[in-house]
Amino acid sequence: MQVNIHEAKTQLSHLIQCVLNGEEVIIARNNQPVVRLQALTKPPAKRKLGSLRGLVKHIADDFDAPLDDFQEYMA
């Protein structure tokens, strides 16, 4: 959808909703496109320290020991 600057000023809330619904909105001056409205992406949620506590039930005693197949690379 392309609108002129005057329409954009009077219908800004509607245009924002259109963008949030996935529609492309271009604002033009003298019928020349000058601006595209674009929705911002949400930043990823912050990870919380300790949020997986209690979910790991068992770790083998040799968990951090080198793998047998890896010995030749360590020489």
Which segments of the chain does DSSP mark as H helices, in order?
5-10, 12-20, 71-74
- What is the CATH number that goes with domain 1-39? 3.40.1620.10
Does the model's pTM come out above 0.75? no
Statement: residue 15 has pLDDT above 80: yes
Which among 29, 30, 35, 44 has a CA at the least distance from the CA of 15?
35
Q: What is the pLDDT of residue 75?
A: 67
CB neighbours of residue 15 within 10 Å: 19
Distance from first CA to last CA of the chain, Å, rounded? Answer: 65
Statement: residue 71 has pLDDT above 80: no
